[in-house]
Amino acid sequence: MKTTLHTFEPAHFHTTIGWHEPVLRIRSGDVIRTWTVDSGGYDLDGNDITEGGNPQTGPFYVVGAEPGDTLRVHFSRIRPNRTRGVSGALVAPNVVDPYFVRELGERTGEDWWVLDLERGTARLEDPPKGLESLGELPLDPMLGCFGVAPPRGQAISCATSGEHGGNMDYRGFREGVKVDFPVFAEGGLFHLGDGHAIQGDGEIVGTGIEVSMDVEFSLELLKDKTIGWPRAEDDTYVMAVGNARPLDQAVQHATTELLKLLQEDYGLDYRAGSALAGQFIRYDVGNVFDPAYTLVAKIEKALLKRL
């Protein structure tokens, strides 16, 4: 089947992920080339064109997608489209010991970063004392917030995440990754935004290096495949994502979903899945800042190829 390349210019944005009016209807396999504003609503020219709060481009409607299906997004390109990004200046109080919040000081201001898009690096524009010689760091662009319309007609704030994806802020969601979502609404209704030029594990200052992005991705409909939580795949790993607080519950969601993935896609019952995951599972911390935390459970594809 021939796929189409759509170039989409967003004109308005949503700060919830929900059952919003689609901006484009596409067929499974089609590719979309578009862009996203940064988390504050600023575009590639640094203009404040929409209200902040991880404003989303979309939603995109995939013809034929229905509840019970899976929608796979494949990000073929995630690139900053301007030369300045911004990050939070102080570790968030919820990720340090409660008594230590007093010692940490007040959060004031922010850090600006200069991005060199040709060389693929970022450097602090005005480094805090002690970091003057930190220099240039390699970009590792990713999207913090994307997903599909949640169940039951909900519209959920782009500050948080759930089974539908959302503000997962996981730095593994970079160019090349494929992420699967359970479909809850007709058409799936895929939204995307909140680009980070670089982000640490946990997003502990409440941001990555926030920047607007040029994004290219395809949407593929996996008909009648039903999943419980987002799943993903990159060159090295298959992954399952849990979004919840506390982090312990995110661990439970992700581990359960990974055991199901191993069963469904690799024929391993839970006994065999346990033997494999027990000694070879890897956990990544997505974010420990947002209302729901994100934890990723993953297994090397090289191991699975042996089976």
**Interacting residues with its own copies between 124 and 183 (CB under 8 A):** 124, 127-131, 133-135, 137, 151-157
Where on the phi/psi map is residue 299: left (φ > 0), alpha (ψ -120 to 50), or beta? beta
Site string for its own copies, 237-266 (x = CB under 8 A): -------xxxxxx-xxx-xx--x------x
Q: Where in 56-95 is the site for its own copies (CB under 8 A)?
A: 87-95
At how many degrees (to 10) do helices 270-280 and 247-266 cross? 120
| Between 30 and 203, CB nearer to its own copies | 203
> Which one of the spans 37-45, 55-63, 66-74, 120-128 is the region binding its own copies (CB under 8 A)?
120-128
Number of residues that bind its own copies (CB under 8 A): 90
Which residue type, as a one-letter code, is found at position 286?
G
Least Å from the CB of residue 18 to its own copies: 7
Q: Where in 265-294 is the site for its own copies (CB under 8 A)?
A: 266-285, 288, 293
Residue-wise burial string across 58-70, b where 16 or more C-beta atoms lie within 10 A, e elsewhere: bbbbbeebeeebb
Give CA–CA dist 71/241, Å, rounded: 15
Least Å from the CB of residue 284 to its own copies: 8
Give CA–CA dist 209/143, Å, rounded: 11
Least Å from the CB of residue 71 to its own copies: 20
Least Å from the CB of residue 99 to its own copies: 5
118 scored as a contact of its own copies (CB under 8 A): no
| Phi (first) and psi of residue 244, to 5 degrees | -175, 165
| Between 188 and 242, CB nearer to its own copies | 242
Please check whether residue 68 is in contact with residue 88, taking contact to mean a CB–CB distance below 8 angstroms: no
| Between 35 and 229, CB nearer to its own copies | 229
Give CA–CA dist 165/21, Å, rounded: 19
Among residues 47, 67, 101, 301, which is the contact residue for its own copies, using CB under 8 A? 101
- Residue 157: partners with Cβ closer than 8 Å, 6 or more residues away: 15, 16, 53, 291
Least Å from the CB of residue 215 to its own copies: 21
